[in-house]
């Protein structure tokens, strides 16, 4: 199964946070799953670090690049199909990063590992 990580789940996975659900841990630990992180999440984390809302142990891009490689995560770029899906979504969620993740999840037909209660409103399959 191919799955897309919400930004917070990605961070929790890096620290083996107890906030991860059993289902999320199972998906992340299964070698048969392909785990994706959107470039939108990297952008979101960069903004959070620069604004002082998040601290990482290394510069953002270097740290995330290393974590993506070490954890066998595939980077998902933004494609025109994602933008087309984004354009068709109602404005239920004001966070532009979360709206793009919803659009990518739908366009790629990938469930999203997330705890965001607004995602199902878009028809996103959430784990």
pLDDT at res. 54: 95
**Which residues, 6+ apart, have CB-to-CB distance to 29 below 8 Å?**
none
**E strand intervals along 1-127:** 2-5, 34-38, 73-76, 112-113
CATH superfamily, domain 2-122, is: 5'-nuclease (3.40.50.1010)
CA distances from 40 to 32, 78, 79, 97 (A): 25, 8, 11, 6
pLDDT at res. 92: 82
- Please give the Cα distance from 59 to 122 (Å, whole number): 34
Give the orientation angle of helix 39-50 with respect to helix 7-15, to 10 degrees.
Answer: 80
Instruction: Tell me the whole-structure pTM to 2 decimals.
Output: 0.94
Give the orientation angle of helix 96-108 with respect to helix 80-88, to 10 degrees.
Answer: 110
CA distances from 121 to 1, 48, 104 (A): 22, 25, 15
Split at pLDDT 50, 70, 90, the class of 94 is: confident
pLDDT in tens, 15-72: 999 999 999 999 999 999 999 999 999 999 999 999 999 999 999 999 999 999 999 9
- Which residues on adjacent β-strands are paired with residue 47? none
Split at pLDDT 50, 70, 90, the class of 91 is: confident
Domain boundaries, the chain: 2-122
pLDDT at 93 over 80: no
pLDDT at res. 1: 96
């Amino acid at each position: 199964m191919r799955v897309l990580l919400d930004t917070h789940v990605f961070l929790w996975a890096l620290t083996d946070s107890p906030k991860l659900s059993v289902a999320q841990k199972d998906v992340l630990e299964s070698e048969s799953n392909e785990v994706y992180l959107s470039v939108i999440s990297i952008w979101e984390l960069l903004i959070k670090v620069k604004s002082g809302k998040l601290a990482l142990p290394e510069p953002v891009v270097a740290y995330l690049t290393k974590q993506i490689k070490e954890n066998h995560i595939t980077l998902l770029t933004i494609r025109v199909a994602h933008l087309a899906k984004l354009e068709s979504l109602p404005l239920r969620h004001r966070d532009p990063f979360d709206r793009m993740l919803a659009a990518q999840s739908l366009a790629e037909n990938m469930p999203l590992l997330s705890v965001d209660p607004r995602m199902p409103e878009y028809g996103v399959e959430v784990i």
